[in-house]
């Protein structure tokens, strides 16, 4: 059976999710197809920095202006996903104070409130920074949870009538009289594809866009730029710490809930490796070496995991490692560009600018379909981000859920599910049940992305059995409990192998002993 829509969006990263929400809010019959879980691509493998734009002020002033505008919008409309912790750009003795002056001027020209402060004041604000610093600038950087931001967009898209199909891989475009008229997508576990038709198809498939575009008969030159990151077992610093120099390796430390994330590298990788991205021990060494210059305490802080993602950068002339290639937003109208009507691409950009990317591509879709509805996403709060602060009488586990999901926590049934399942992150059964019902969670890795279960200090060592049992019960599939544990351990293992020393190695051995039956 063929299903008909106004618009089909391919890709369930933050860009596709935000585009699905914007299209649905403007009254379009919207379908989003994602080959894995929501956030399986770069949107689930980044630094979680809500850029103030300061990082790009010297090298890409337009990108910097986009970032600060979106930073201010997301602080308002996505408040439950953003921690407004601010950031410091520190200058070390081997860097240059002249660069710091240029940096401050460039920030101010881009509309970013950059405030130079003394090294003493920087150490007072953030005692973890390298005490050898010779200069510092305070900027409105923030930390953003990419999973929550994407989920909130998905939840709102569904509430406004969008259909979201996860685990559906787009395999082919339907072409009629030279026009793209829809797609064929293979649901996981099925033998044959389903057909979906729409008047416009939007490619929001991140780094996979180039390959999909090719199968539609258009060429997009992309540069897969790998970035590796490491996670430390607790919040070493409360602010985002950046190095005040031209963007380079390992010069940003971002606090994220109870942990800290250090990154990143930037290396060109072949397109045929993008489905198997992991951090290598060499990348971990490099990150640690550089990170310790920013925050010396990192040398003695437990590293719990390493991971890597691929930036969806578009070639704008010239080769490179990915830092000299456009990170700007790219909207391609393939009717105008390639003579292929019915197809539009949205790529490039950043997590920070995902709302704007969605607005631009939805404007284009509406123009093609003759729809006049204005964009509301800069004004309407995302689900969970309507003003909702924990009340003193609310129990602590509900306050933790409010901290993660804002007003969405009011939809969780704490009367039935007040038992704490993940102690590091204070996740209850009620939150697990909510994730199963609202976000179609199918296994522990999905659950981790949407609730932070297993993302805290113990990385699931102590809670994973409980999680597996409760998830299996909520799904009504008790027979899957052991499989859930085995899959989760396998997934965790990939991130732990490059950081196996000291306490992390001891913990891995402990985990192996505890879960011997499932390994
Ligand atoms: C290491 C690293 C660090 C970063 N740090 C930051 C940061 O701190 N701040 C910031 O603002 N930005 C950051 N970024 C950039 C940001 O993560 C990306 O720009 C953003 O996540 C891209 O989102 P997307 O939805 O366009 O792509 P993706 O998240 O990659 O989504 C594309 C989706 O398409 C799906 N897909 C692919 N093929 C098909 C198919 N055939 N059928 C159906 N679905 C398909 C994939 O499974 C995937 O889920 C970082 C990126 C990296 C790699």
Q: How far does residue 207's CA lie from ligand 1's centre (Å)?
A: 7
- Least reliable range by pLDDT among 228-237, 322-331, 473-482: 322-331
Structure tokens at 171: 């395999």
Q: Tell me, what DSSP letter sits at residue 250?
A: T
Q: Is the CB of 460 under 6 A from ligand 1?
A: no
- Is the pLDDT at 247 greater than 70, yes or no? yes
Q: Is the CB of 352 under 6 A from ligand 1?
A: yes
Q: Is the CB of 111 under 6 A from ligand 1?
A: no
- Is the pLDDT at 5 greater than 90, yes or no? yes
Between β-strands 252-256 and 259-263, what pairing exists: parallel, antiparallel or unpaired?
antiparallel
Q: Tell me, what DSSP letter sits at residue 91?
A: E
Interval 104-156: pLDDT, tens: 999 999 999 999 999 999 999 999 999 999 999 999 999 999 999 999 999 99
Contact (Cβ atoms closer than 8 angstroms) between residue 13 and residue 35:
no
What pLDDT score does 82 carry?
A: 95
Average pLDDT, the chain: 92
Nearest Cα to 308, choosing from 351, 261, 346? Answer: 261
Q: Is the CB of 166 under 6 A from ligand 1?
A: no
Q: How far does residue 312's CA lie from ligand 1's centre (Å)?
A: 7
Q: Is the CB of 33 under 6 A from ligand 1?
A: yes
What pLDDT score does 320 carry?
A: 45
CA 127 to chain centre: 28
Interval 11-57: pLDDT, tens: 999 999 999 999 999 999 999 999 999 999 999 999 999 999 999 99
- Is 234 strand, coil or helix? coil
What pLDDT score does 249 carry?
A: 85
Q: Is the CB of 322 under 6 A from ligand 1?
A: no
Whether this model's pTM surpasses 0.85: yes
* Higher per-residue pLDDT: 75 or 258: 75
Q: 82 forms bridges with which residues in the sheet?
A: 144
Average pLDDT over residues 323-338: 80
Nearest Cα to 141, choosing from 239, 218, 65? Answer: 239
DSSP codes of every residue in 339-406: S-TTEEEEEES-STTHHHHHHHHHHHHHHHHT--PPP-TTTSPPTT-SS----TTS-HHHHHHHHHHG
What pLDDT score does 316 carry?
A: 60
Q: Is the CB of 309 under 6 A from ligand 1?
A: yes
Average pLDDT over residues 353-366: 98
Contact (Cβ atoms closer than 8 angstroms) between residue 378 and residue 18:
no
Residue 319 pLDDT class (50, 70, 90 cuts): very low
CB crowding 43-67: b at 16 or more within 10 Å, else e: bbbbbbbbbbbbbbbbebeebbbbb
Residue 433 pLDDT class (50, 70, 90 cuts): very high
Dihedrals φ, ψ of 351, to 5°? -55, -45
Q: Is the bond preceding 264 in cis, omega lying within 30 degrees of 0? A: yes
- Is the pLDDT at 321 greater than 70, yes or no? no
Q: How far does residue 305's CA lie from ligand 1's centre (Å)?
A: 20
Radius of gyration of the chain (CA): 23
What pLDDT score does 238 carry?
A: 96
* Higher per-residue pLDDT: 242 or 503: 242
Q: CA 349 to CA 186: how far, in whole Å?
A: 28
What pLDDT score does 274 carry?
A: 93
- Is the pLDDT at 457 greater than 90, yes or no? no
Average pLDDT over residues 435-461: 89
**Who's near 8: CB < 8 A, 6+ residues apart?**
30, 31, 32, 33, 182, 183, 196, 198, 200, 201, 202
Contact (Cβ atoms closer than 8 angstroms) between residue 348 and residue 371:
no
Which range has highest mean pLDDT (156-165, 408-417, 421-430)? 156-165
Residue 44 CA: which ligand 1 atom is closest? 29
Contact (Cβ atoms closer than 8 angstroms) between residue 8 and residue 198:
yes
Interval 55-69: pLDDT, tens: 999 999 999 999 999
CB atoms within 10 A of CB 260: 27
Dihedrals φ, ψ of 106, to 5°? -65, -40
What pLDDT score does 317 carry?
A: 46
Percent of the chain residues topping a pLDDT of 90: 77
Mutate-to-test residue for ligand 1 from 9, 20, 42, 266, highest number of ligand atoms within 8 A of CB: 42
What pLDDT score does 507 carry?
A: 85
Quick one: 192 exposed, middle or buried, by C-beta within 10 A (0-12, 13-18, 19+)? Answer: exposed
Domains in the chain with CATH codes: 2-42+147-221+327-369 (3.50.50.60), 83-144+223-312 (3.30.9.10), 396-514 (no CATH)
Describe the crossing of helices 146-159 and 14-25 by its angle, rounded to 10 degrees: 30
CA 474 to chain centre: 26
Q: CA 460 to CA 233: how far, in whole Å?
A: 13
Residue 206 CA: which ligand 1 atom is closest? 27
Q: CA 349 to CA 312: how far, in whole Å?
A: 8
- Is the pLDDT at 277 greater than 70, yes or no? yes
Q: How far does residue 348's CA lie from ligand 1's centre (Å)?
A: 9
Interval 158-210: pLDDT, tens: 999 999 999 999 999 999 999 999 999 999 999 899 999 999 999 999 999 99
Within the chain, what is the greatest distance between any pair of CA atoms? 68
């Amino acid at each position: 059976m063929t299903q008909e829509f106004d618009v089909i969006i391919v890709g369930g990263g933050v860009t596709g999710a935000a585009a699905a929400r914007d299209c649905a809010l403007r009254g379009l019959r919207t379908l989003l197809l994602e080959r894995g879980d929501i956030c399986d691509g770069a949107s689930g493998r980044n630094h979680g920095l809500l850029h103030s734009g300061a990082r790009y002020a010297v090298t890409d002033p337009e990108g910097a202006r986009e970032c600060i505008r979106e930073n201010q919008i997301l602080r308002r409309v996505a408040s439950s996903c953003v921690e407004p912790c601010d950031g410091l750009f520190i200058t070390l003795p081997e860097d240059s104070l002249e660069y710091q002056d240029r940096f401050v001027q460039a920030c101010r020209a881009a509309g970013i409130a950059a405030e130079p402060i003394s090294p003493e004041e920087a150490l007072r604000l953030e005692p973890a920074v390298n005490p050898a610093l010779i200069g510092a600038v305070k900027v409105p950087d923030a930390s953003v949870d990419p999973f929550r931001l994407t989920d909130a967009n998905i939840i709102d898209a569904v509430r406004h009538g969008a259909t979201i199909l996860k685990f559906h891989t787009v395999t082919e475009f339907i072409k009629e009289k030279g026009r793209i008229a829809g797609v064929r997508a293979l649901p996981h576990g099925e033998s044959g594809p389903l057909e979906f038709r729409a008047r416009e198809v939007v490619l929001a498939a991140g780094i996979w866009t180039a390959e999909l575009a090719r199968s539609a008969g258009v060429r997009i030159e992309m540069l897969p730029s790998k970035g590796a990151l490491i996670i430390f077992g607790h919040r070493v610093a409360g602010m985002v710490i950046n190095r005040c120099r031209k963007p380079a390796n390992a010069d940003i430390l971002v606090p994220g809930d109870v942990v800290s994330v250090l990154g990143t590298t930037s290396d060109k990788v072949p397109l045929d490796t993008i489905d198997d991205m992991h951090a290598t021990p060499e990348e971990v060494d490099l990150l640690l070496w550089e990170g310790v210059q920013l925050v010396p305490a990192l040398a003695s802080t437990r590293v719990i995991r390493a991971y890597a993602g691929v930036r969806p950068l578009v070639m704008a002339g010239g080769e490179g490692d990915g830092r000299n290639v456009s990170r700007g937003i790219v909207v391609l109208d393939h009717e105008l560009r390639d003579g292929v009507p019915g197809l539009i691409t949205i790529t490039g950009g950043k997590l920070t600018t995902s709302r704007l990317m969605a607005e631009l591509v939805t404007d284009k879709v509406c123009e093609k379909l003759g729809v006049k509805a204005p964009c509301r996403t800069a004004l309407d709060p995302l689900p969970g981000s309507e003003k909702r602060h924990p009340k003193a009488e609310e129990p602590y586990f509900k306050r933790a859920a409010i901290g993660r999901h804002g007003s969405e926590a009011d939809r969780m049934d704490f009367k039935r599910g007040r038992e704490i399942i993940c102690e590091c992150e204070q996740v209850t059964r009620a939150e697990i049940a909510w994730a199963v019902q609202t976000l179609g969670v199918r296994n522990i890795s999905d659950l981790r992305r949407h609730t932070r279960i297993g993302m805290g200090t113990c990385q699931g060592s102590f809670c994973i059995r409980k999680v597996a049992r409760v998830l299996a019960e909520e799904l009504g599939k008790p027979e899957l409990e052991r499989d859930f544990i085995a899959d989760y351990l396998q997934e965790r293992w990939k991130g732990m192998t490059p950081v196996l020393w000291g306490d992390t190695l001891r913990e891995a051995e402990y985990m192996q002993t505890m879960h011997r039956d499932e390994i």
